[in-house]
C-alpha cells in the first residue's frame, strides 16, 4: 500500500472542501494539504445548487433580520451563537467569491443583485442566474489550482478513517482507476463530504450523495446530531426528483392545485397577492410548503402524472424573457426532461428529499469531539439550520464554515505531534477487499431500493410511530442482509459494483441514525412532523438536539444535548398574515 504523510487531509472537494483547502493554503503556505474526492471536484453535488446564497446586502436589511429568519425558520433548534457568527460572515464570503470571479448576477448599474427566497424577510440571496452552485463550485475549483500546496487525489474513494490514540490521523482511500489502496496520514483532518439524501427513494441529489463522511465519523464514535430533520424540497420533478429551484417562486412563480387554486392560502400562508410577499404564500419555508402538498394530495386536489400526483408550478406570468434571463436551467430542464415550455405551460412538481439538516456533531468552530477532526458543509451539524434549513443558507454555510474548518485544521496541525502509524490502514483495506469475495447471493441494488422505500414510508413529510418503528426494523434487517451481499464484479480497476456496495453500507448506518432519531422525538418541529398524538412542538422536553451514537450491529443509542439560546426566545413560528401579527407583538 502507498502511504503519504501530509499536514492536513480534506475529505471531499465540493464547495466546503475546496473552500477549506483554499483557506488552509492561504494562511499556511508551508503546510502540505491532501484534497481527496471520489469524483473530480467539479462533479461534486454543490454543482446542482440552483437558487443562490444568502448574505445581507441591501441598506434596509440587517444581520439581525437574517439571524431571526434563520432561527425561526429552524423552529428554534439552532445554536444561536453560531448563527450570529454565520450571518456576520456571509456577505464577506460572497464578496470573496466575487473577487475570485463568481459571475453573480448584477443590476443594470453593475452592482450585485439579490433575489427573494422562502422564509427570508428581505431579499438577500446572491445568485448566478439559476446555476449558483455550479458557478460557486467551478470558481472555487479553478481558484484552488493556484495553490501549489494543495495536492489533489481525484477519484479516490475513502473506505475508512484512521484514528490513533484517540485522535484523527488520516484515512484509507481506494483509487478508483486501479483498485489499489492508499493511506494518507495527517496531523489534522476536515470532512466535507456532503449530505445523504440518496437514502430516500425520491430525491434531488446526485448519485454520489451517500453520506460517506457522516458514516465514517459515526462509526468512529462521533455522534450524528439532529438526523431526524430531513428536508423535502417542495418543487421537484415527479419520478426523478430533479430540482426546480425555489428561485422560481423568488422570481414570482405560483403554486396551484388541479383547480388552478393557490392552495397555500389554506395552510396559514395567505393571503395570496399577485406578487408574493416575502414570507407569505409561495415564499414560505420549505417544510411548510411540502406539508401543504401532502394535505392537497389527501384531499384529491393534485393533478395526475405518469409518475404520480403533482401540483403545478406556474411561471407563465413571468414571461419568456424573464424566465430565460433568471431561470435558464429551469427552462432547459422542463423542456428536455418533460417537454414543457414553462412560459406557456405550468410545470407539474412534487416534494422530494433535498437536504440533511443534521450531521457530524461539531462545535461552532467546526471541531468534532474526536481530536483533530473538523467538519463543514452538509455533512456537518454546526447548528445553524435547526429543524428546517432556509433556502440559500447552505451555499453560504459551505463558504463560511468551509473556510473556518480549513483555518482550524491549520491551527490544530501546527500544535499537534506527528501521528502514530499502526497497522490500521492495512486492516481497513483488508476489510474493504473482503467484500469482493463475499458470498451470499444478495444483490445490493435490491437492498438499496428497499432502503429508499422504507425511508420514504417511515420518515417522509409526515411521520407515525408504528411506521417509523417498522422502518427501524426494516433497516436492521437490511443491515443483516448486507452481510450476505455478493458482487457481480470481482476485479479491481473501476469496479463501481464494489464502490456502490461500500456506499450502501454507509447509507444503511446513516439511515438508521435518521430513523431512530425520528422515532425518539415525540413532538413535531420543523421538518419532523408527527400525526400520532405528537402534533405540537414540545419545548419542555425537546428543545434539545438529538445525538445518535453508533452501536455496531445493534440499534443506535439516542441521547440529547442542549440548544444554545442567546437573543431569540422560542416563540410561535408563523408565516403569512399570522406571522406578521406575531412579529408585531414582539417588537
Partner 1 sequence: MSDTMERSKTIALRVLRYRPASDTEPVFETYQVPYSDDMSVLQALQSIKDLQDGTLSFRWSCRMAICGSCGMMINGEPKLACNTFVRDLGPAATIEPLQNFPIERDLVVTVGDFVRKIESIYPYIVPKVPRSIEEGAYLQTPAQMAAYESFSDCINCMLCYAACPQFGANPDFIGPGAMALLQRYNGDSRDGGQQMRMDQIAGEDGVWSCTAVGICSEVCPKQVDPANAVNQNKSKSALDFFLRLLPGGSGS
Q: Can you tell me which of 115, 138, 225, 350 binds partner 1, judged by CB under 8 A?
A: 138
What is the distance in angstroms between the CA of the first residue and the CA of the last residue of the chain? 64
Nearer of residues 5 and 325 to partner 1, judged by Cβ: 325
Of 464-472, 495-503, 513-521, 579-587, which part binds partner 1 (CB under 8 A)? 495-503
Q: What are phi and psi of 9, to 5 degrees?
A: -115, 130
436 near partner 1 (CB under 8 A): no
347 near partner 1 (CB under 8 A): no
Residues contacting 332, CB < 8 A, separation 6+: none
27 near partner 1 (CB under 8 A): no
Per-residue 3-state assignment (H helix, E strand, C coil) for 430-490: HHHHHHHHCCCCECHHHHHHHHHHHHHHHCCCCECHHHHHHHHHHHHHHHHHHCCECCCCC
Q: How far apart are CA 61 and CA 584, in angstroms?
A: 17
484 near partner 1 (CB under 8 A): no
Of 60-68, 198-206, 212-220, 310-318, which part binds partner 1 (CB under 8 A)? 198-206
Of the listed 124, 233, 286, 573, which one is catalytic? 233
248 near partner 1 (CB under 8 A): no
39 near partner 1 (CB under 8 A): yes
Q: How far apart are CA 573 and CA 364, in angstroms?
A: 24
Q: What are phi and psi of 546, to 5 degrees?
A: -85, 150
To the query of whether residue 233 is one of the catalytic residues in this protein, the response is: yes
Closest CA to 131 of 103, 109, 110, 108: 103
- Minimum Å distance from CB 141 to partner 1? 8
Sequence-ordered strand ranges (E) for 253-301: 254-256
Stated length of the chain: 587
Of 226-234, 240-248, 272-280, 572-580, which part binds partner 1 (CB under 8 A)? 240-248
Q: How far apart are CA 351 and CA 233, in angstroms?
A: 5
Residues 293-332 close enough to bind partner 1 by CB under 8 A: 306-308, 329, 332
340 near partner 1 (CB under 8 A): no
- Minimum Å distance from CB 441 to partner 1? 13
CB count in 10 Å sphere of residue 259: 8
Residues 72-131 close enough to bind partner 1 by CB under 8 A: 92, 95-96, 98-101, 103-104, 106, 108-112, 131
336 near partner 1 (CB under 8 A): yes
441 near partner 1 (CB under 8 A): no
Q: Can you tell me which of 4, 81, 180, 206 binds partner 1, judged by CB under 8 A?
A: 206
Per-residue 3-state assignment (H helix, E strand, C coil) for 147-174: CCCEEEEECEEEEEEEEECCEEEEEEEE
Nearer of residues 6 and 333 to partner 1, judged by Cβ: 333
Residue appearing with cell numbers 408585531: 584
- Minimum Å distance from CB 577 to partner 1? 36
Sequence-ordered strand ranges (E) for 331-463: 347-356, 359-361, 373-375, 380-381
Nearer of residues 333 and 396 to partner 1, judged by Cβ: 333
Of the listed 124, 152, 185, 249, which one is catalytic? 249
Q: What are phi and psi of 523, to 5 degrees?
A: -160, 180
Nearer of residues 48 and 361 to partner 1, judged by Cβ: 48
- Minimum Å distance from CB 501 to partner 1? 9
Q: Using CB under 8 A as the criterion, what x/- string covers residues 146-185 for binding partner 1? A: x-------x----------------------x--------
Enumerate the β-bridge partners of residue 367. Answer: 374
Sign of the dihedral through C-alpha 63, 539, 397, 415: positive
The answer to whether the CB of 492 falls within 8 A of the CB of 157 is no
Task: Name the residues that contact partner 1, by CB under 8 A.
Answer: 39-40, 42-45, 47-48, 92, 95-96, 98-101, 103-104, 106, 108-112, 131, 134-135, 138, 142-143, 145-146, 154, 177, 201-202, 206-208, 239-240, 242-243, 306-308, 329, 332-333, 336-337, 443, 445, 449, 487-489, 491-497
| Residues known to be catalytic | 233, 249
Amino acid at each position: 500500500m502507498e502511504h503519504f504523510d501530509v499536514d492536513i487531509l480534506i475529505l471531499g472537494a465540493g464547495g466546503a472542501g475546496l473552500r477549506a483547502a483554499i483557506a488552509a493554503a492561504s494562511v499556511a503556505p508551508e503546510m502540505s494539504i491532501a484534497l481527496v474526492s471520489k469524483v473530480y471536484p467539479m462533479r461534486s453535488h454543490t454543482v446542482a445548487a440552483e437558487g443562490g446564497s444568502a448574505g445581507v446586502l441591501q441598506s434596509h436589511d440587517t444581520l439581525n433580520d437574517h439571524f431571526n429568519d434563520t432561527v425561526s425558520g429552524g423552529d428554534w433548534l439552532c445554536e444561536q451563537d453560531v448563527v450570529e457568527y454565520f450571518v456576520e460572515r456571509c456577505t464577506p464570503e460572497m464578496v470573496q467569491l466575487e473577487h475570485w470571479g463568481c459571475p453573480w448576477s448584477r443590476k443594470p448599474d453593475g452592482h450585485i443583485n439579490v433575489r427573494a427566497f422562502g422564509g427570508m424577510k428581505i431579499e438577500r440571496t446572491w445568485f448566478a442566474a439559476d446555476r449558483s452552485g455550479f458557478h460557486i463550485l467551478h470558481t472555487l475549483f479553478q481558484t484552488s489550482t493556484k495553490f501549489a500546496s494543495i495536492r489533489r487525489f481525484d477519484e479516490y474513494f475513502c473506505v475508512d478513517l484512521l484514528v490513533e490514540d484517540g485522535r484523527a490521523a488520516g484515512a484509507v482511500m481506494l483509487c478508483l482507476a486501479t483498485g489499489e489502496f492508499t493511506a494518507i496520514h495527517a496531523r489534522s483532518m476536515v470532512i466535507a463530504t456532503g449530505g445523504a439524501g440518496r437514502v430516500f427513494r425520491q430525491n434531488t441529489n446526485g448519485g454520489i450523495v451517500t453520506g460517506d463522511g457522516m458514516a465514517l465519523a459515526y462509526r468512529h464514535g462521533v455522534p450524528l446530531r439532529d438526523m431526524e430533520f430531513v428536508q423535502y424540497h417542495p418543487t421537484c420533478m415527479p419520478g426523478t426528483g430533479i430540482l426546480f429551484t425555489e428561485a422560481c417562486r423568488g422570481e414570482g412563480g405560483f403554486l396551484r392545485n388541479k383547480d388552478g387554486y393557490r392552495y397555500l392560502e389554506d395552510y396559514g400562508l395567505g393571503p395570496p397577492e399577485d406578487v408574493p410577499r416575502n414570507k407569505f404564500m409561495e415564499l414560505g419555508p420549505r417544510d411548510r410548503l411540502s406539508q401543504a402538498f401532502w394535505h392537497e394530495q389527501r384531499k384529491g386536489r393534485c393533478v395526475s402524472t405518469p409518475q404520480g400526483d403533482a401540483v403545478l408550478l406556474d411561471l407563465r406570468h413571468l414571461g419568456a424573457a424573464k424566465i430565460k434571463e433568471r431561470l435558464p436551467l429551469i427552462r432547459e430542464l422542463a423542456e428536455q426532461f418533460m417537454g414543457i415550455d414553462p412560459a406557456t405551460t405550468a410545470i407539474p412538481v412534487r416534494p422530494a428529499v433535498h437536504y440533511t439538516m443534521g450531521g457530524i456533531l461539531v462545535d461552532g468552530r467546526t471541531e468534532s469531539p474526536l481530536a483533530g477532526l473538523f467538519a463543514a458543509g452538509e455533512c456537518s451539524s454546526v447548528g445553524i439550520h435547526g429543524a428546517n434549513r432556509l433556502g440559500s443558507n447552505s451555499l453560504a454555510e459551505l463558504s463560511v464554515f468551509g473556510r473556518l474548518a480549513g483555518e482550524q485544521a491549520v491551527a490544530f496541525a501546527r500544535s499537534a505531534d506527528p501521528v502514530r502509524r499502526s497497522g490500521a490502514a492495512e486492516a481497513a483495506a483488508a476489510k474493504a477487499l473482503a467484500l469482493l469475495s463475499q458470498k451470499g447471493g444478495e444483490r445490493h441494488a435490491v437492498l438499496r431500493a428497499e432502503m429508499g422505500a422504507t425511508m420514504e414510508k417511515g420518515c417522509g413529510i409526515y411521520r407515525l410511530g408504528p411506521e417509523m418503528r417498522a422502518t427501524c426494523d426494516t433497516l436492521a434487517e437490511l443491515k443483516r442482509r448486507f452481510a450476505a451481499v455478493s458482487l457481480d464484479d470481482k476485479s479491481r480497476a473501476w469496479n463501481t459494483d464494489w464502490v456502490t456496495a461500500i456506499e450502501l453500507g454507509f447509507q444503511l448506518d446513516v439511515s438508521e441514525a435518521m430513523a431512530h432519531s425520528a422515532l425518539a422525538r415525540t413532538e413535531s418541529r420543523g421538518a419532523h412532523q408527527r400525526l400520532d398524538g405528537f402534533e405540537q412542538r414540545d419545548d419542555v422536553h425537546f428543545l434539545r438536539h438529538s445525538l445518535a451514537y453508533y452501536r455496531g450491529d445493534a440499534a443506535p443509542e439516542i441521547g440529547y444535548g442542549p440548544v444554545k439560546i442567546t437573543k431569540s426566545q422560542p416563540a410561535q413560528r408563523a408565516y403569512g398574515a399570522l406571522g406578521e401579527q406575531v412579529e408585531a407583538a414582539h417588537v
